[in-house]
């Protein structure tokens, strides 16, 4: 899937010369947390989001550091903070360093951008033209659509289940089959052996549960704390 497959095409935008009141009203009316900002020529020049309005003088949340810190930071930093908390124009408070993706960008590329930049939305552009936006909600809808479209796989027999699970463990690398004893009987997977991090338990159970034909997973794993050698068995004994 590509950006063009899941993006929102009818994108609400705001002009750089608009007031912050206009931007806030749009955000509230469409229940969004951010808006692309366009210049007079319709080019994308920034993003304005809820976080840009957190430190405002009107609500008493403007940032103000002790004088000695302001002295060390210099007048530029102080001036910038003042504009963010006092300006009435979107262009003054928006984030200018906007990362974009092309319409043919893969979903993995988009998620990598979101992770790296810690953003909730990524504008989609063709040249200088804004053609859409991909938000976390768009990714969630894509996830739901993919899961609903997937036809249930035919159940596997016991040996095929075992082979599939061992192959998954070797590929993923979070647990070594050499420290485990896995058996399958009429769709019931029994996990026995040693793990060295409690998080491995959940991953092993998840890997087994995702195999078609598995009806139950019995957890008989023993956790060994690597430094002390202390052991701890599953609290439930089964999942």
Residue 15 · residue 90 · CB < 8 Å: yes
**CB burial string 197-220: b at 16+ within 10 A, e below:** eeebbeebbebbeebebbeebbbe
What is the pLDDT tens value at each position of the chain, 239 positions in all? 899 999 999 999 999 999 999 999 999 999 988 999 999 888 999 999 998 998 898 888 887 777 767 667 677 777 888 888 999 999 999 999 999 999 999 999 999 999 999 999 999 999 888 999 999 999 999 999 988 888 788 999 999 999 999 999 999 999 888 889 999 999 999 999 999 898 999 999 999 999 999 999 999 999 887 766 566 666 554 44
Hey, what domains does the chain have and what are their CATH numbers?
3-147 (3.10.580.10), 158-233 (3.30.1340.30)
């Amino acid at each position: 899937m590509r950006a063009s497959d899941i993006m929102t095409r009818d994108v609400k935008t705001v002009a750089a010369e608009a007031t912050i009141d206009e931007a806030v009203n749009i955000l509230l009316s469409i229940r969004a947390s951010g808006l692309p900002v366009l210049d007079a020529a319709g080019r994308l020049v920034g993003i304005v989001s809820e976080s840009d309005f957190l430190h405002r003088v009107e609500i008493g949340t403007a940032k103000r550091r002790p004088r000695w810190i302001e002295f060390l930071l210099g007048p530029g930093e102080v001036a910038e903070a003042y504009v963010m908390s006092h300006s009435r124009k979107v262009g003054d408070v928006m984030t200018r360093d906007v990362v974009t993706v092309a319409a043919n960008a893969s979903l993995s590329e988009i998620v990598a951008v979101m992770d790296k930049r810690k953003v909730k939305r990524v504008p989609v552009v063709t040249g200088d033209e804004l053609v859409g936006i991909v938000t976390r909600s768009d990714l969630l809808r894509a996830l739901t659509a993919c899961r609903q479209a997937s036809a249930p796989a035919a159940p596997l027999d016991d040996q095929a289940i075992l082979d599939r699970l061992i192959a998954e463990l070797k590929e993923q690398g979070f647990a070594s089959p050499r420290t485990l004893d896995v058996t399958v009987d009429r769709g019931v997977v029994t996990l026995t052996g040693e793990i060295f991090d409690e998080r491995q338990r959940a991953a092993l159970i998840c890997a087994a549960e995702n195999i078609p034909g598995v009806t139950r997973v019995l957890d008989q794993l023993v956790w060994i704390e690597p430094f002390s050698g202390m052991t701890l068995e599953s609290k439930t004994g089964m999942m």
